[in-house]
Structure 1
Amino acid sequence: MKLKKVACTLLILIGSGFAMESQNISPNKTVAYKEIEGDSLCLHIFEPAYINKPAAVIVFFFGGGWTVGDPKQFYQQSAYFASRGIVAISAEYRIKNIHGTTPFDCVEDGKSAIRWVREHAKELNIDPDKIVAAGGSAGGHIALCTALIEGLDNPNENASISSVPNAVLAYNPVLDTTNKGYGAKKVENRETEISPCHHVKKGLPPMLFFHGKEDTTVPFENAERFNSLMNAAGNDCNLVAINGVGHGFFNGSFFRKGSDDQYFNLTMYDSDVFLEKLGYIAGRPTIVKLVN
């Protein structure tokens, strides 16, 4: 498939702090991190108002079944974390409906994004040892795979620079790509190659993930099983199970119009606490947790 080259444009953040009108949320800038088959993939970067030392960074990957999606899904989360003093990024990656790609290509792009951020830590004013991979649904799967999956690296990149994040945050991620989970037909004959449940091992980065108990897209059983496997291997992993909600519950009002933000606030509050415990954020969350 011939690809149209996409130019990355500079965007200005309108407003100040996190208490901005949701329709005005936009990144400070976009930067190309990867050129592949005539296309440019960009990072949509949200910067804190002030950084007095290299900050932590969180890189979000949007959902959409590796087929559709938009970095705007995580603009609201990125704006919040930038308001908390860390650099926040919503990353583009190749998707089937535009690029004719597979989930394996998506994982490659996720690893490329983490590697590029670490390689450019100085110019981004970030700590290369405080990189968080994050995302929702298929994007949560990509975030997990940057920590779990060996191989699928782009051969044109500097392999001496690690693409493994220092922590992972995921929101109803795809956890099993066999017929017990989601996506088996999309990875036919390679069902376990990028299946997080099948690649758990000792020594993985700390992880926090959220899952609705009524999720019919990614079965809640997958979340319980992944969490058990992670803990059995001695890893720091915590599942936040949420009653009465299904897939995509975490989306904020910027991306999902009409949302009252209660689950956005819940996930951001707990994510904030997780990052504060790791030493990536200072102080208490500045967002109100509306539900338990």
Structure 2
Amino acid sequence: MLFPAADGSELPMLVFEPVGGTRPLAGIVLFHGGALREGSPDGLAPHCRKMASRGILAGSAGYRLLGRGAASIDDCIVDVRCAVEQFAGLAAMRGLEVPHLASGGSSAGAHLALVAAMTPPESTTAPGPGIAAVVALNPAGLNLRSFEPAAQRRLEQQVGIAAGRLTEYSLIEFARPGHPPMQIHHGTRDEVEPIDSVRQFRDVMVRSGNECTLVEYDRAGHGFHYPGDGGHFDDVIDATALFLLDRIATT
């Protein structure tokens, strides 16, 4: 299916329903990685298909990419908010309300989902989009303040934002009470986001009074969670489904 992006263009969303037409117990919409410049909803289709077999309504949504409709990371974030809203409408038609919905993604997509969930839209002081949990697969951008100044400037240019704005997208800066429960999956040898940075984020979130669980995969690198890549796919799906069904499933 297609849904409207913030600029009026159309974006894809793949939706996977529980088998046999059974009423879903929970819902989650995921966002692909690719450094904001590549990737598609197809990348997380296997994850969604498997979660649907566990009774979870699962969607994999696109967003405008840099150089292909998005001028900056801000456009990507607003598209994620649009996708979450669209998915919530689909879920409502299947009997699922906001307390039973989650968002998440992989790498850059996980970062976008977390930013959207942890910050309000620019046009309002209300909380982020209506979701009750977040699942992040090897997320990036947890502590951007730790980058050297030269690296920060390069990243600012890459994601289309003005100099000095990078830390506005650093997830650790958003740690405060009241965030939805989070589950993070990360490899101890991730070459994009070091595991120490993820542990620091987890600790800060917990100290702020939030539930933030880190599931570590020994010696796994970035992108470890795909089928056939290191043999962790089933473990990731098992842990994700258990988390969602325990925290947000209907009763």
Residue 172 (structure 1) aligns with? 138
Alignment check: 8 A CA contact 2:132 2:248 kept: no
Distance (whole Å) between structure 2 residues aligned to residue 61 and residue 247 of structure 1:
16
Structure 2 counterpart of 1:212, one-letter code:
G
Question: Which structure has the bigger radius of gyration?
Answer: 1
Alignment check: 8 A CA contact 1:58 1:134 kept: yes
* SS of equivalent residue, structure 1 residue 57: strand
Alignment check: 8 A CA contact 2:120 2:127 kept: no
Alignment check: 8 A CA contact 1:104 1:152 kept: no
Alignment check: 8 A CA contact 1:169 1:207 kept: yes
Match of 1:211 among 179, 186, 204: 186
Distance (whole Å) between structure 2 residues aligned to residue 161 and residue 193 of structure 1:
17
Residue 11 (structure 1) aligns with? none
Post-superposition CA distance 1:225-271 (Å, at most 9, x none)? 11001100111111112221211111124xxxxx36x1111211111
**Gapped regions of structure 2 (runs ≥ 5):** none
**Gapped regions of structure 1 (runs ≥ 5):** 1-29, 254-258, 283-292
Residue 19 (structure 1) aligns with? none
Distance (whole Å) between structure 2 residues aligned to residue 117 and residue 162 of structure 1:
15
Aligned residues: 242
Matched, 1:189 2:155: no
Give 1:86 deviation, angstroms: 1.6
Point out 4+ residue stretches in structure 1 off by more than 6 angstroms.
159-162
Distance (whole Å) between structure 2 residues aligned to residue 51 and residue 230 of structure 1:
38
Q: How does 1:1-292 map to 2 (within 5 A)?
A: 30=1, 32-37=2-7, 39-53=9-23, 55-152=25-122, 163-174=129-140, 175-180=142-147, 184-185=155-156, 186=159, 187=161, 188-253=163-228, 259=229, 262-280=231-249
Report the TM-score, using the length of structure 2 for normalisation. Answer: 0.86
Distance (whole Å) between structure 1 residues aligned to residue 218 and residue 127 of structure 2:
40
Give 1:82 deviation, angstroms: 0.8
How well do the aligned residues superpose, as a CA RMSD in angstroms?
A: 2.6
Report the TM-score, using the length of structure 1 for normalisation. Answer: 0.75
Percent identity for Structure 1 against Structure 2:
29
Alignment check: 8 A CA contact 1:227 1:237 kept: yes
Structure 2 counterpart of 1:176, one-letter code:
N
* SS of equivalent residue, structure 1 residue 129: helix
In structure 2, the CA distance between the partners of 1:51 and 1:230, relative to structure 1 (3 Å rule), is farther
